[in-house]
Structure 1
Amino acid sequence: MERKKIHISTLIDAPVAQVWEAYNNPEDITQWNQASPDWHCPSSENDLRVGGTFKNKMAAKDGSFAFDFEGTYTAVAPQQSLSYVLGDERTATVNFEDKNGKTQIDVDFDAESTNPEDMQRDGWQAILNSFKQYVENK
């Protein structure tokens, strides 16, 4: 089944090496991986290699809901790009590009069929915006 791709992006005022590290280091991931202030990421595991897996626990701060966002890496090009497949077989690719000392991140991911595309785009973009804010203020 062909899935619709959703695209999000941001420009971060930091070099690629710093952005790559913050994006993939579990200690950093727990600091930025949430779409809104009432959510958090209490734990993160990341085996950044082809065939390696990641698992980030996403949880409402009030304890009302939690889930694991997890997948398996299908491609890893350090400080350039990574691709992964989620448990429901959706795929995502994240590209990191130097833009005169800043870093352009472009993410393309398969839409899921439960929620409207704009809701999915807004949620993933909110997490990416949280990441940008974290890196630029670190």
Structure 2
Amino acid sequence: MITVQSNINAPIKTVWECWTSPEHITKWNNASDDWHTPYAENDLRTGGRFKSTMAAKDGSMSFDFEGEYTLVEHNKAIKYVMADGRKVDVYFTETQTGIEVIESFDPETVNPEEMQRGGWQAILDNFKKYVEDFYI
């Protein structure tokens, strides 16, 4: 598994809401400024499904990121299986400096693991910025 992490300086309620609510997901779920997420839906429960469309702002390409939740523990953990069968675990832990978000995922076989780690870390960094700069 590949792991990325970040410490978010915000209360758990805010972090959880921004991570799981489609109206927030569409504002932070991109790795670079030339991409965006114009659509997101989320049935946040064990057995529920989620889907978000990630697209290049110039319209040159887009793809759906989707899967099914295998575990949802409110304010603590989310586990899911992506449409291609890879597993993802996300943990939210309260610390003295905020909420530590640790996300681990099975790598795919097309791109180098360092590239995958960098992309997922960039999205997590964008989440941190969104929560700390715009939501609080």
- Smaller-chain TM-score bracket: over 0.9
2:45 corresponds in structure 1 to 49
Alignment equivalent of 1:107, drawn from 98, 103, 116: 103
Q: Unaligned stretches of 5+ in structure 2? A: none
Deviation at 1:101, TM superposition (A): 5.6
Take 2:99 and 2:59, find their aligned partners in 1: how far apart are those partners?
A: 35
Take 1:88 and 1:134, find their aligned partners in 2: how far apart are those partners?
A: 28
Take 1:94 and 1:72, find their aligned partners in 2: how far apart are those partners?
A: 14
Q: Unaligned stretches of 5+ in structure 1? A: none
1:28 corresponds in structure 2 to 24
Q: How does 1:1-138 map to 2 (within 5 A)?
A: 5-100=1-96, 102-137=98-133, 138=135
Structure 2 counterpart SS, 1:40: strand
Deviation at 1:17, TM superposition (A): 1.1
Deviation at 1:48, TM superposition (A): 0.3
Take 1:32 and 1:119, find their aligned partners in 2: how far apart are those partners?
A: 20
TM value normalised by structure 2: 0.97
Coordinate RMSD, CA, aligned: 0.6
Structure 1: which 4+ aligned runs deviate by more than 3 Å? Answer: none
TM value normalised by structure 1: 0.96
The answer to whether the Cα contact below 8 Å between 2:7 and 2:97 also exists between their aligned partners in 1 is no
1:46-86 CA deviation, whole Å, 9 max, x = no partner? 00001100001000000000000000000000000000001
Query: How many percent of aligned residue pairs carry the same amino acid?
Result: 51
- Residues paired across the two proteins, number: 134
